[in-house]
Amino acid sequence: MTTKALEGVRILDFTHVQSGPTCTQLLAWFGADVIKVERPGVGDATRGQLRDVPDADSLYFTMLNHNKRSITLNSKNPKGKEVLEDLVKICDVLVENFAPGALDRMGLTWERIQELNPGMVYASVKGFGPGPYEDCKVYENVAQCTGGSASTTGFLDGPPLVTGAQIGDTGTGLNLALGIVTALYHREQTGRGQRVLAPMQDGVLNLCRVKLRDQQRLAHGPLKEYSQHGRGIEFGDATPRGGNDSGGGQPGWIIKCKGWENDPNAYVYFITQAAAWPAICDVIGKPEWKDDPEYATPDARLDKLTHVFETIEDWTKTKNKFEVMDICNPLNIPCGPILSMKELAEEPSLREAGTIVEVDHPERGKYLTVGCPIKMSNSPVEVTRSPLLGEHTDEILAEVLGYGETEVGEIKQSGAVGTPPKAEAAE
Ligand code: CAO
């Protein structure tokens, strides 16, 4: 029998935008009951951001909030505070990614949470950990810049670059999810919850470890595997931008394929792995390089990588990127076509694997989203649509919290849930 791995775990989801919602969506996919708390009448700001369909929740929101329930609750209203505290008592985990101090200002300090529920795991994403910037608000690209990614991304003669992969937000959300399940595992032995903090700067820096490695290697001489070395350009005192250089010991580069003049993605990433060198020489029509001391060994090639990749490119330009892949793969030459989002969205095998999923939504109709990137044999993931704002307020008050009709009526009357009274909404 298959069950969801996190069935029975209840998450109080106070997250918004991207980093926190990534985390709670993952936990929901694994079977946790995720109750998303949103401000009445407003909700998660991303519901209305980058809208493509008028009046419908944006793709930004829907793609980050699948498999969750939504309750609208004004946590600054006295009745709302009571409801929130009741939720803290019955949930296993509280996840939030507000600006530093916001939860304390609501009266939900770590001390208060422990009083209410000693088993509670209280998990936060913040831009920075303790230090000079701990009070700062942070978005994705700020984290990429302060975590070492931007200074090491891009070309040598260009400015620092941010990447399309959301390593600050989604990357940190993944870290937080791991912290949460680890804390839940620990709670099994100790009976107590704990605080879990995943700072975005730390998450990005962690993903940039090879660049910190290179920073230290610089003290012992030039980084010979960077193509900059072969071009005779001296290194400064910090890890440089490496263009499309490989981050590891096997040189690689992005090179053109047939059709590159008109197709911005007619390129392939090509790796000259040492073991595959003889096969590469044969396939590109340079069999003499196999025995030429100038080219035969990885060390000998280091100062002429640009020429090596230009020569490989003369061959790849005669094939489309998929033909390059088809020819090289059987020869164990590692390479990968540059796939556009259009190609990925249309790729049948990604649909079959549940990596890209089509979801139906009452307001916006069908759309594509990413499925769970982790596949577990006994905990299958079924992606269900994101909740409408406050869609589950009544069911959470009645079924989860067990409030009676009179109590629910009082809560609604107070403006703690649902659409707030006009004066309060205008605050
Ligand atoms: N009821 C009442 N008030 C609520 C509420 C609710 N249900 N939900 C949120 N609020 C309030 C908060 O209490 C806060 O009020 P105070 O400032 O008075 O304490 C206010 O709404 C806004 O919270 P915020 O400051 O977190 O939101 P923001 O839009 O100004 O900032 C962000 C957004 C992301 C920059 C900030 O939350 C942040 O730095 N978070 C940590 C880092 C992070 O996760 N960044 C990634 C975001 S994805 O790119």
State if residue 138 touches ligand 1 by the CB under 6 angstroms criterion: yes
State if residue 126 touches ligand 1 by the CB under 6 angstroms criterion: yes
pLDDT range class, residue 249, cuts 50, 70, 90: confident
Q: Which atom of ligand 1 is nearest to the CA of 72?
A: 7
For residue 138, the CA-to-ligand 1 centroid distance in Å is 11
Which tokens in the block code for residue 237?
A: 């005192």
Annotated catalytic residue within 13, 169, 214, 245: 169
Q: Name the residue at shortest CA distance from atom 17 of ligand 1.
A: 102
State if residue 137 touches ligand 1 by the CB under 6 angstroms criterion: yes
pLDDT range class, residue 426, cuts 50, 70, 90: very low
Please provide the average confidence, as pLDDT, over all residues in the chain: 95
Reply yes or no on whether 299 is catalytic: no
Tell me: the pLDDT tens digits for 222-234?
999 999 998 999 9
Length reported for the chain: 427
For residue 136, the CA-to-ligand 1 centroid distance in Å is 12
For residue 321, the CA-to-ligand 1 centroid distance in Å is 44
Check pLDDT > 90 for residue 398: yes
Question: Tokens 């390089």 label which residue?
Answer: 289
Provide the pLDDT for residue 119: 98
pLDDT range class, residue 419, cuts 50, 70, 90: low
State if residue 37 touches ligand 1 by the CB under 6 angstroms criterion: yes
In order of 215, 223, 272, the CA distances from 249 in angstroms are 15, 11, 10
pLDDT range class, residue 131, cuts 50, 70, 90: very high
Mutate to test the pocket of ligand 1, among 39, 76, 137, 172 (most ligand atoms within 8 A of CB): 137
pLDDT range class, residue 427, cuts 50, 70, 90: very low
Mutate to test the pocket of ligand 1, among 98, 141, 144, 196 (most ligand atoms within 8 A of CB): 98
State if residue 142 touches ligand 1 by the CB under 6 angstroms criterion: no
* Cα-Cα end-to-end distance for the chain: 51
Tell me: the pLDDT tens digits for 279-306?
999 999 999 999 999 999 999 999 899 9
Question: Tokens 């929101």 label which residue?
Answer: 61
Tell me: the pLDDT tens digits for 61-90?
999 999 999 999 999 999 999 999 999 999
Residues in a beta bridge with 359: 367
3-state secondary structure the chain: CCCCCCCCCEEEEECCCCHHHHHHHHHHHCCCEEEEEECCCCCCHHHHCCCCCCCCCCHHHHCCCCCEEEEECCCCCHHHHHHHHHHHHHCCEEEECCCCCHHHHCCCCHHHHHHHCCCCEEEEEECCCCCCCCCCCCCHHHHHHHCCCHHHCCCCCCCCCCCCCCCCCHHHHHHHHHHHHHHHHHHHHHCCCCEEEEEHHHHHHHHCHHHHHHHHHHHHCCCCCCHHHHCCCCCCCCCCCCCCCCCCCCCEEEEECCCCCCCCCCEEEEECCHHHHHHHHHHCCCHHHHCCCCCCCHHHHHHHHHHHHHHHHHHHCCCCHHHHHHHHHHHCCCEEECCCHHHHHHCHHHHHCCCEEEEEECCCEEEEEECCCCCCCCCCCCCCCCCCCCCCHHHHHHHHCCCCHHHHHHHHHCCCCCCCCHHHHCC
Tell me: the pLDDT tens digits for 96-117?
999 999 999 999 999 999 999 9
pLDDT range class, residue 385, cuts 50, 70, 90: very high
Provide the pLDDT for residue 422: 42
Q: Could you give phi then psi for residue 271, rounded to 5 degrees?
A: -115, 130
